[in-house]
Amino acid sequence: MRAGSVRVLSALLVLLTAAGAAYANGFLVPGVGAKAGGLSGAFIGAADDYSAVYWNPAGITQLEGTSVTVTGQDAISLGSREGTLFFRGALMSSTPVFAPIEATTEAEHRLIPGVFLYPKFSLGAVFDKIGIAAYTLADYGTSWPGSSVYDDLLSEYPTQPNDPAGYRKVMGEAPDNESRITAYAITPVVAKEIVPGLSLGIAAHAVYTTVETKVGDWYEVSFQDSSELHPVQLEDSASGWSYCATAGVLFKATASVSVGAVVRTPMTAPLEGEIEVASTAEEFVSPKQDQSYDLPYPMWAGLGVAYRDLLVQGLTMTADVAWTQWSDVDEIVRTTEEELPGGIGTQTLDWEDTIEVGVGLDYRASRTLSLRMGYRSVPSPGSEENYTFVLPQIEKSVISLGATYRRDTWHADLSLEYGAGQEVEIPVDGGNDMNGKHLEDSVVASLALIYSF
């Protein structure tokens, strides 16, 4: 007996470590705040509501009285893949099996809560405004059922026309490919107006991250006159705390123009959990065991401007540019109690820094109603060499719509963001087992209820 294909191990480990690094990438970080969402995240220079704790802490000096905000988001990932799986069989002269992949993800809803409190009182001469927030920093993932990805393979592999009966056998059910990365933040924030029109703010973030993945593939075992195709299912989970800070400045140059700048420090999250590999091939079975790895969060910085009463009264234009230092996220090193099948070491990601650009328009149509829209360009730091459809790295163009409805002491914000992904095509000889055409869109709906007194 010999192994007809050893590609499965490297594929599993590449997918697993890429998924482990995915939160830092923020492939889909919905962002914080329905108003900011309606502006496609172009909010650094405005930062005039509860979400300033995330976008620019200096902006909370603009909040008057006491306010309590409850938020909810629903993030949906919509992915598709068209490609080909290839297996040759026991003999080099046997008929190759080319099984097409035409798969789509399950559209899972991910409900994302948040609570924000800004009391009326301050800390005397030290700070003008304080606040505390508990919110979901990110919740993202994809789900590829094995029956969707591998249905053609399961039907075509055992039924090649020139093979003897029973020549090829599929030894188990199709494995699944799933991922979910969630990060919750607890954030106290303080800010002070240093001189009229110039405010400084800082927020401290305690972030709890969880990563869960299922990664599937196939392992072909060849005999002298037959072949067996064995499913391999890797499952892992890990979680841990990490800490960072966001500092911001907001300068109101005139009554109409404000300019903001913000920087978020990098951090490293030590994650611990469990990992196991199940397969109908004994050489790929690895019982559940402890694992650990460090998940890096890169530095993020941005500049923004808000121009109020532009052209007509009540129309505000916002514009942002944000930089993320992905080049510092270059490798993931995973530690396990016992060596996984075939061994595991350092996974090089080789990502590059990115620059995002966003613009938004906010129109106060009446005393009770505001309407807004926005656009944002979101590049991907990755390349074809480390692409994985379990957690895709796809460049997106985000368009958004939003609205606010006000009453005496409360108001509601609503936004809808659609991220149109740019198609990625990976050639068969591109050195990546993810060959084919990949596309991933995203939809994020946000709702906020704000009570002020």
What is the per-residue pLDDT across 54-85, written as a single tens digit (0 to 9) for each?
A: 999 999 999 999 999 999 998 888 888 888 87
Residue 292 CA to residue 294 CA, distance in Å, equals 7
Specify the pLDDT at position 77. Answer: 83
Q: Where are the alpha helices (DSSP H) in 114-224?
A: 146-149, 151-156
Angle, vertex CA 16, rays to CA 297 and CA 83, nearest 5: 115
Residue 412 CA to residue 407 CA, distance in Å, equals 9
**Do the Cβ atoms of 223 and 169 come closer than 8 Å?**
no
Residue 93 CA to residue 381 CA, distance in Å, equals 42
Specify the pLDDT at position 28. Answer: 42
Q: What percent of the chain has pLDDT over 90?
A: 48
Specify the pLDDT at position 164. Answer: 67
Specify the pLDDT at position 23. Answer: 34
Tokens of 201: 């703010």
pLDDT digits (tens, 9 = 90+) for 411-449: 999 999 999 999 888 887 655 677 788 888 889 999 999
Mean pLDDT, rounded, for 193-216 = 94
Residue 381 CA to residue 14 CA, distance in Å, equals 16
Does 352 have pLDDT greater than 80?
A: yes
Specify the pLDDT at position 298. Answer: 86
Mean pLDDT, rounded, for 324-346 = 77
Residue 242: closest CA among 307, 184, 179: 184
Specify the pLDDT at position 70. Answer: 97
19: confidence class by pLDDT, cuts 50, 70, 90: very low
Specify the pLDDT at position 90. Answer: 66
User: What does DSSP assign to residue 339?
Assistant: P
**Do the Cβ atoms of 319 and 42 come closer than 8 Å?**
yes
Bridge partners of residue 400, in order along the sequence: 374, 417
Does 291 have pLDDT greater than 70?
A: yes
Specify the pLDDT at position 5. Answer: 44
Specify the pLDDT at position 415. Answer: 97
Mean pLDDT, rounded, for 150-175 = 82
Specify the pLDDT at position 429. Answer: 67
pLDDT digits (tens, 9 = 90+) for 99-146: 888 888 887 777 889 999 999 877 767 899 999 999 988 887 788 899
Angle, vertex CA 175, rays to CA 170 and CA 177, nearest 5: 150
Q: Which of the pair, 340 or 93, is modelled with greater confidence?
A: 340
Does 30 have pLDDT greater than 70?
A: no
Mean pLDDT, rounded, for 31-46 = 94
Residue 153 CA to residue 220 CA, distance in Å, equals 13
Tokens 């129309």 correspond to 315
Q: Which of the pair, 66 or 8, is modelled with greater confidence?
A: 66
Q: Which of the pair, 331 or 374, is modelled with greater confidence?
A: 374
Specify the pLDDT at position 239. Answer: 96
Decide: helix, strand or coil at residue 38.
helix
Specify the CATH number of the domain 2-452.
2.40.160.60
pLDDT digits (tens, 9 = 90+) for 372-405: 999 999 888 877 777 777 766 788 999 999 999 9
**Do the Cβ atoms of 106 and 119 come closer than 8 Å?**
no
Specify the pLDDT at position 165. Answer: 63
**Do the Cβ atoms of 84 and 435 come closer than 8 Å?**
yes
Q: Which residues contact 343 (CB under 8 A, 6 or more apart)?
A: none
Average per-residue pLDDT in the chain?
A: 85
Specify the pLDDT at position 225. Answer: 77
User: What does DSSP assign to residue 146?
Assistant: H
